[in-house]
Each structure stands twice: as C-alpha cells, then as structure tokens.
Amino acid sequence: MIPKEILDKVRRIQILTSRMVTDVMSGHYESVFKGRGMEFSEVRPYQVGDDVRAIDWNVTARTGSPHIKEYVEERELTVMILFDASTSLDVGTQGKTKREVAAELCAVLAFTAVSNNDKVGLIVFTDEIELFVPPKKGKRHVLRVIREILAHETRGRGTDIKGALEYLSRVTKRKSVTFLVSDFLDEGYEQDLSIAKRKHDLIAMSISDPAEVELMKVPALLNLVDAETGEEFEVDGWSLGFRQGYAKDVGKDRAKRSEIFKRRGIDTVELRTDRDYVQPLMTYFRERERRL
C-alpha cells in the first residue's frame, strides 16, 4: 500500500508540472532530442557513392567484398534519470529542500519524455545502488517513477556517482538521454563521466542551497553537521574571515567541477532551492537548440 501522503504529493507534482510539460517543454524537448540519434539497421554491399567511412571492415574482410553499415533515425528514445538520494539533498534553508526540487525536476523530465512517446527509466543511488526501474513508456509508468522517488527510504547516506555511472553502463545497452540529478558532493568520478559520455547523451542537473554557497552572518557559535557523514563542526558565525574563507573554498570547488564537465563536453544545468527551476531549464533547452 502506498501512503496517502505520498499519493497526495504525486498528484500535486503532476498538477504542478503538467502545464509546463504541455505548453513549454515538449516542443523544445522534441527539437533538442528527438530524431537526433541513429541506430544500426543492417549491413549491405557497398555501392558507388556510399560514404567510405561507413564501411564495415570486419564483414568486408570476411566476405572479400566491401560492405557498409546502414543506420536509421531513432523514432523513440530511452531517457534515464539518475537520482541522487543521499542525505545531503534534505538540506533546504530557503523555500524547498534540494530533494523536493530534484523530485519536481525529475517529474518534468519524465512527463515530457512520455508525452513524446519515449521510455523512462530510473536509478536511485546514494553510496550504493538503491533502486532500478527499467525503462518503459506510459503515464502510469511515469507516475510509478515519481512515487518511487518520493517514497524511497534511503539506506545509505553518502554519494557515489562513479558507482551510479558504472551501473548505468551495465543495465542500459542502447544509447540513452541520461539526466544525472545530484548536488555533486562527491569526487573521483571524472573518468566515469568520460566513459558514460561516449555512450550516452549525459546532462548534469546540479542542485544547491544558498547556505552551501555563502554562510549567513550569525552572532553566535554555530554547530554545522555534514549531512552525509554526520561529522560536526563548531564555527564562529560572526567571523568575517571564516565566512570569506568558506565562500572562497566553495567557489574553488564549484569552478573545479564546472571545468570537469566542460572538458568532457557534458552539458550542465545549475539549479538552486531558492529560485525557480523552470527558467534555467528553459535557458538550457534554448541554448542547446541553437547549438544544434
């Protein structure tokens, strides 16, 4: 049985996102993703005028005559959502928590995909793989994906992006459009980004809270707790030097992460809990349309 509280949340998210999906997202989604991929169809004998880059050298060597690979345009896509469920996503000092923003974002992406007759799959991860929902079509399936995101009770606390990307490669044989939704409080996953990018259309959806970017000035000693490790720190909230140092360190980490994505050609959408996620999402889709 699904708790009534979860069902109510699913309905609210469905209502909240439905107009955005039908009125705003679908057209951009189709022009950005639909029909952009190609899948293998068959091997046939080479004909004069064919692109020599399409020659299948293995078949050519085996048969003694040149053959080429033919591809057809993909009519449907597989959309994979990699959802970071680590405890750091429970942070939310202004408005919504990162988890709430992530859930709404995933709903928008999933409803948009099924409205375009595409399959949607889900991987929920922390420092382990916690749930896998194989890709399927249909509104009922998307509602299940959203319920799983909202109702999931995590076992782990930390974040293992490397493990999530490795698991993606094992369970998805075809190319997919993959949305990696996380706060990216992790490290050591750079090489796996490159591997995943070679096979999939990988987009990073990065969610942050304003308190993670800049500490507020508070005339008192503060007890800060690392949401993923449970480690506690006592800091002077009045100290300008500490707050400036904190902001500088955070800025370096964010710049480093941005450079990692940029070098690997991975699109990134930056989202915050204190701001509307619709505008940065639409800005990304428009920019990607222009590039294509």
pTM of the model: 0.79
- Measure CA 112 to chain center: 14
* CATH architecture under which domain 4-34+76-291 falls: 3-Layer(aba) Sandwich (3.40)
User: Hey, where are the domains in the chain?
Assistant: 4-34+76-291, 38-73
Ranges of residues in the chain whose predicted pLDDT is under 50:
none
Q: What is the pLDDT of residue 221?
A: 61
Radius of gyration of the chain (CA): 22
Q: What is the pLDDT of residue 174?
A: 84
Residue 250 has which token pair? 């955070």
179: nearest Cα among 258, 109, 114, 75 = 109
- Under 8 Å CB-to-CB from 2, ≥6 apart: which residues? 147, 151
Q: What is the pLDDT of residues 48-93, one digit of tens each?
A: 888 888 899 999 999 999 998 876 555 678 999 999 999 999 988 8
Q: What is the pLDDT of residue 286?
A: 86
Residue 66 has which token pair? 């040149």
